[in-house]
Amino acid sequence: MIFVELILQGLIQGSIYALIAVGLTLVYGLLRILHIAHAALFTLGAYLGLLITNATGSLALGFLVAMVVVGIAGIAIYRFCYHDVLDQPPHVALIASVGLFIAMEEGFRLIWGPTSISFTEPPWQAAVVLGGIQVKTADLVTIPLAIVLIGGLAAIVAFTRIGLAWRATVTDPAMAGSFGIDALKVRYLNFFLGSALAAAAGVMFAILANFVEPTMGGVPSYKALAIIVLGGLGNVRGTLIAALMLGVIESFGTIYLGWAMDRDAIAFAFLILVLMVRPQGLFARS
């Protein structure tokens, strides 16, 4: 029974990771930038979702506002942070992104205070017994939510005109540009959708843990970086598989490796181990 429970917990955690990591890997696929500040968008989403839910009592509104506002914030980050350093060596964008992330985290601390905030009425707390395992409704919601959101993203990419333009730009930016595709519009869309998913992950994380704090973005997002590297940078399918895998490995690792290292180190131990064997990640594109 404990195995089933650990796998379930792992998949729930993995779904959150997947929602964060998809945005990161999309940004990498399009621009070859490691978008560390994505972590701050996750935190921003969690704050907005929680504060709006507390103010209005509507969780749906919380999700909606968080996703839209954070999506726009993502576009702003692209425009003001990355747009003008694209032709610089890759470490420039990386460090600028780290700087922005730290500054944003501190900004949250100054605005909303260093201590954590909770829901006044935590949603989805009812316990459900499922085949002998007791779980919260929130746990059960996480996985379908991730499937719906990522499925929606996949549908946009697969079936819309802008999705087509997006795929063309990722494959060959110069060629896509010469066919009249507006690269800027594609990038804006990319950042909007990726950031909105991170915001959804943030709200969901806040519901599961029932708190938000300024530094909450750090650890899940560093792990998301590990995940996109494992998935073969820029590879969306690989990223999803790696996210779920890491979630499960962590939940088992916490039990069986807890004496040697803490939960957060397990992800990176796994990452380093994999990279030593396959430097291009588990699911690299050829």
Partner 1 sequence: MQYEITLAVFMGINIIFAQSLNMITGFCGQISLGHAAFYGTGAYCSALMAKAGVPIPVCILAAMAAAGLFGLIVGFASLRVRHDFLAITTMGVGFLFIGIVRQQDFLGGEMGVFGIPGIVDDKFQFMVVVLVLAALVIALAVYLKHSWLGFAFDAIAQDEDTARTVGIGVARYKLTAFVIGTALAGLAGALYAHHVKFIGIDSFGFVESVTVLSMVIVGGIGSIWGVTITAAVLSVLPLWLQFVSDYKLLLYGLLLFVVMRFSPDGLDGLLRWILRRLIGGIGRRVMADKA
Q: What part of residues 123-162 is at the interface with partner 1 (CB under 8 A)?
A: none
SS3 for the chain, per residue? CHHHHHHHHHHHHHHHHHHHHHHHHHHHHHHCCCCCCHHHHHHHHHHHHHHHHHHHCCHHHHHHHHHHHHHHHHHHHHHHHHHHHCCCCHHHHHHHHHHHHHHHHHHHHHHHCCCCECCCCCCCCCEEEECCEEEEHHHHHHHHHHHHHHHHHHHHHHHCHHHHHHHHHHHCHHHHHHCCCCHHHHHHHHHHHHHHHHHHHHHHHHHHHCCECHHHHHHHHHHHHHHHHHCCCCCHHHHHHHHHHHHHHHHHHHHHCCCCCCHHHHHHHHHHHHHHHCCCCCCCCC
Among 104, 153, 186, 249, binds partner 1 (CB under 8 A): 104
Residue 231 beta carbon to partner 1: minimum distance, rounded to whole angstroms: 12
How many chain residues are in contact with partner 1, going by CB under 8 A? 50
Residue 81 beta carbon to partner 1: minimum distance, rounded to whole angstroms: 7
109 or 136: whose CB is closer to partner 1? 109
Residue 101 lies near partner 1 (rule: CB under 8 A):
yes
Residue 121 lies near partner 1 (rule: CB under 8 A):
no
Residue 99 lies near partner 1 (rule: CB under 8 A):
yes
Among 11, 31, 34, 246, binds partner 1 (CB under 8 A): 34
Residue 26 lies near partner 1 (rule: CB under 8 A):
no
- Return the range that interacts with partner 1 (CB under 8 A); candidates 125-133, 145-153, 187-195, 264-272: 264-272
- Return the range that interacts with partner 1 (CB under 8 A); candidates 168-176, 182-190, 204-212, 271-279: 271-279
Residue 284 beta carbon to partner 1: minimum distance, rounded to whole angstroms: 10
Residue 90 lies near partner 1 (rule: CB under 8 A):
yes
Residues that bind partner 1 (CB under 8 A): 28, 32, 34, 81, 84-85, 88-96, 98-107, 110, 218, 222, 225-226, 229, 233, 258-269, 271-272, 275-276, 279, 281
